[in-house]
Structure 1
Amino acid sequence: MEIVRYADRTDRQVRVGLRTDEGVRQLPVTELAELLRLSLGELRDTLEKPGDLVSDPFLLPPIDGRTELWASGVTYERSRDARVEETTEKSVYERVYDAERPELFLKAVAWRVVTDGEPVAIRADSGLDVPEPEFGVVANSAGEIVGYVVCNDMSSRSIEGENPLYLPQAKIYAGSAAISTGIVPAWEVANPLDLAIALEVERGGATAWRGETSTARMHRTPDDLVDYLFRGDAFPDGAILSTGTGIIPELSFTLRDGDVVSISIAEVGTLTNRVTVGKDPLAWLVTALSDPFAREAAR
Structure 2
Amino acid sequence: MRIICFQSCEGLEQMAAVTDSGEIYLLQQKSFLELMKEAENKNVTCLSLVHQTIKDSLPMEVKLEDLTLRLPLRSDEVWASGVTYLRSREARNLESKSTGESCYDKVYEAERPELFMKSTFHRTVGPETPVYIRTDSNWQIPEPELGLVLNRNGDIVGYTIGNDMSSRDIEGENPLYLPQAKIWKHSCSIGPSIRLAETVEDPYNLVISCRIYRNGTKVFEDYANTSQLKRKYNELISYLLRDNVVFDGTVLLTGTCIVPNEDFTLADGDVVEIEIPCIGVLRNPVQIQSRMNLVK
TM range (shorter): 0.7 to 0.9
Query: Structure 1: which amino acid aligns with 2:92?
Result: R
1:119–1:175: 8 Å Cα contact kept in structure 2? yes
Question: In 1, Cα distance between the equivalents of 2:283 and 2:292?
Answer: 17
CA deviations on 1:220-278 (whole Å, 9 max, x unpaired) are 11221112112232223231111000011111111111111111113222111111112
Q: Does 1:18 align with 2:28?
A: no
Give the secondary-structure state (helix, strand or coil) at the position aligned to 1:180.
strand
1:60 correspondence with 2:59: no
1:179-226 per-residue CA deviation (whole Å, 9 max, x = no partner) reads 112101012211110111111111122221111111000011122111
In 2, Cα distance between equivalents of 1:283 and 1:166: 20
Q: 1:57 to 1:24 in 2, by over 3 A?
A: farther
Count of residues in Structure 1 that have an aligned counterpart in Structure 2: 282
- Does residue 229 in structure 1 map to residue 240 in structure 2? yes
Aligned residue identity for 1:23: I
In 2, Cα distance between the equivalents of 1:282 and 1:242?
26
SS where residue 262 of structure 2 aligns? coil
TM-score (norm 1): 0.86
* From 257, 274, 277, the counterpart of 2:268: 257
Give the match's secondary structure for 1:72.
strand
**What is the TM-score of this pair, normalised by structure 2?**
0.87
Q: Distance in 2 between matches of 1:213 and 1:69?
A: 22
Match of 2:30 in 1: 30
- Is the Cα contact below 8 Å between 1:9 and 1:57 reproduced in 2? no
Query: Out of 35, 47, 50, which is 2:50 matched to?
Result: 47
| Change in 2 beyond 3 A, CA 1:283/1:7 | farther
Fraction of identical pairs, as percent: 40
Output the CA distance in 1 between the equivalents of 2:293 and 2:234: 33
* Residue in structure 2 matched with residue 290 of structure 1 by the alignment: none
* Deviation digits for residues 35-90 of structure 1 (CA, Å, limit 9, x no counterpart): 334458432221112356668865321222x6321111100000000001111566
Find out whether 1:245 has 2:256 as its counterpart: yes
Q: Name the SS for the 2:176 alignment partner.
A: helix
Partner of 1:4: 4
For residue 198 of structure 1, the aligned residue among 203, 206, 209 is: 209
Distance 1:22 1:267, change over 3 A: closer
| Contact in 1 for aligned 2:130/2:286 (Cα 8 Å) | yes
Q: Answer whether contact 2:73 2:249 (CA < 8 A) is retained.
A: no
Contact kept, 8 Å, 2:82 with 2:254, in 1: the verdict is yes
Rounded to whole Å, the distance in 1 between the matches of 2:199 and 2:240 is 24
Q: What secondary structure is seen at the aligned counterpart in 2 of 1:250?
A: coil
Please give the per-residue CA displacement for 1:66-118, whole angstroms capped at 9, x wherever unaligned: 63211111000000000011115661111111111111111111232111111
Q: 2: CA distance between counterparts of 1:228 and 1:125?
A: 32
RMSD over equivalenced CA pairs, Å: 2.3
User: 1:130, 1:153 → 2: CA distance?
Assistant: 9
| Of 75, 86, 109, the match for 1:77 | 86
Aligned counterpart, 1:273? 284
What is the 5 A alignment of 1:69-148?
A: 69-87=78-96, 91-148=102-159
Q: Which amino acid aligns with 1:69?
A: V
